[in-house]
Amino acid sequence: MDLQDSRNPQVKRPRAVIIGMMGAGKTRVGKEVAHMMRIPFADADVEIEREVGMKIPAYFDKYGEPAFRKVEADLIADFLEDFDGIFSLGGGAPMTPSTQDALADYIAAGGRVVYLDADPKEAMERANRGGGRPMLAGDANARWKKLYKQRDPVFREVANVLVHTRRQTPQVAARKVMDMISERRVHVTGTAIEPYDVVIGEGTMNHVTEVFGDTVNKVALIHTQPVQRHSDRARALLRQAGYEVSDIAVPDAEAGKTVEVANRIWERLGDEGFTRSDAIVGVGGGAATDLAGFIAATWMRGIRYANCPTSLLAMVDASTGGKTGVNTSAGKNLVGSFYTPAGVFADTKTLASLPNDIFIEGLGEVAKSGFIEDAEILRILEAHADELRAFDGATFLGSGLEDVVSELIERTVTVKVHHVSADLKEKGKREFLNYGHTLAHAIEKLEHFRWRHGNAVAVGTVYAAELAHILGYIDQDLVDYHRSLLSSLGLPTSWNGGSFEDVLALMHKDKKARGNMLRFVVLDGGPGNVIHLENPPADAVEEAFRRIRS
């Protein structure tokens, strides 16, 4: 990931900054990471000694700690804007306020500050062996423990990546660091939202145990049968962390997203004594993560939950944003709650198990986000349409396509977060995320959910474009672009199912409808300019429907 500052191309930033206690292995692990990634390594203490022309203990003795911290802070600030490798800091460096500010700016620019959380006993032994540490003068172990008590909370606050290295070789620890600094993170916050992260990349499911802490005892693992290999992995991780895991398999896709299935889970949670201090983990596609969130929102009026989406659609849509729910005979997602997760872990390893058609349908939601806000998504889809359409899970991991897909996930989630953070409960701006969904939900209902959501959304966006064109909001070229882009990705752009009367009746039940008035989300002028279209002429609504018939 390029960390050059787009506002100033001359600014180079480290790929990662490593912090930790004395003896945590920052230098050894940092060198290993740099070697694996084939990039430079720099140690702040070594660079300081080079700059001042003497060893750090001697500098301490001659000038004192305040003078040293000033030199240290200035050097770190310079390296944060003129070094593009792995950068390791001295043990006390993050305690300096100006360095904390510089690290915060670095993180804001996309950087990774990695806190190596080493075993205290191991770290003390290494620190004592190393010698030459003025901060450990006197009773070294007592001083180390006192410093740890002071520094650990600060390090956890300063860092945005925590790597546990206890009882691990430097090589294993370095591999963990490398995987984690390659991850993409989208931070979700806003009014009425308890902040959480969407973490994207290979192996991110490993973080699922980090969001619950010591307060959780039992975890209900809700998953579908087709993702058994992934739920097995989640179960093992949770049990290794000491949680009591209840394994709950539910029917696949929309068949599992019903009140009847939810009721069976509620009864099971009651039988097994789940309380407010316990948690839910959802593993699977969008229906499974919707259901898991709904169970978490309703059990004991709300318990913690995390999502591990295993399909592209779930990663970019259902697992984030806090919309949870089930379907009823009246329609899709009409019963539910707005309830945000403690974390979402979009592990790209799980995409390798997807059939081509299930991967492709997720691109419908990706393209939608490009149309409503991020035109770069559309450019990426155009540039890689052939590769995306030919997706093969067997060759996906480690390929160039994996990084393309990771960027598409990150960008799509960012679009969603932008709307959700301003409007969690879908009273205004968040409704723009429903571009194409008014028709899409009707198609799904009339097809008895045999049509997958992303495919229905693709047709729905074409319908919305046709309606906008008929009413003069966009030109024919943009309608044609909808069709050509979606078709190039292998997505459908037409539908020959139910009658207009059936569709119209369902569109009147859409969540955006107000009373008997239809409301659509359409583009006004071009991609990125989105408006609500209220009560359009009936003949235009019907004509747009006629145009999406194949």
- Of 354, 372, 403, which residue is a domain's last? 354
Is 547 annotated for ligand binding? Answer: no
Is 24 annotated for ligand binding? Answer: yes
Is 25 annotated for ligand binding? Answer: yes
Nearest to 414 by CA among 191, 189, 186, 196: 186
Residues in the chain predicted with pLDDT less than 70, given as ranges, are 1-11, 123-124, 126-140, 191-192, 256, 318-321, 330-334, 421-430, 510-515
Cβ contact 507:438 at 8 Å = yes
Is 287 annotated for ligand binding? Answer: yes
Same domain, 99 and 129: yes
Which CATH number does the domain housing residue 94 bear?
Answer: 3.40.50.300
Is 512 annotated for ligand binding? Answer: no
Same domain, 207 and 299: yes
Is 27 annotated for ligand binding? Answer: yes
- The rounded distance, in Å, linking the Cα atoms of 372 and 521 is 9
CA angle 321, 430, 222 (to 5 degrees): 25
Is 544 annotated for ligand binding? Answer: no
Is 311 annotated for ligand binding? Answer: yes
pLDDT of residue 98: 95
Is 253 annotated for ligand binding? Answer: yes
Q: How many domains does the chain have?
A: 3
Please give the residue range of the domain that contains residue 43.
16-181
- The rounded distance, in Å, linking the Cα atoms of 391 and 440 is 24
Is 152 annotated for ligand binding? Answer: no
Q: Give domain status of residue 373, yes or no.
A: no
Cβ contact 524:533 at 8 Å = no
Query: How many alpha carbons fall within 13 Å on the CB side of residue 358?
Result: 19
Nearest to 546 by CA among 455, 470, 445: 470
pLDDT of residue 466: 97
- The rounded distance, in Å, linking the Cα atoms of 64 and 62 is 6
Cβ contact 53:6 at 8 Å = no
pLDDT of residue 179: 80
Is 168 annotated for ligand binding? Answer: yes
Same domain, 241 and 273: yes
Amino acid at 360: I
Query: Which neighbouring-strand residues pair with 144?
Result: none
- Of 147, 181, 215, which residue is a domain's last? 181
pLDDT of residue 1: 46
Is 349 annotated for ligand binding? Answer: no
- The rounded distance, in Å, linking the Cα atoms of 141 and 283 is 44
Cβ contact 279:219 at 8 Å = yes
Residues 6+ apart with CB under 8 A from 539: none
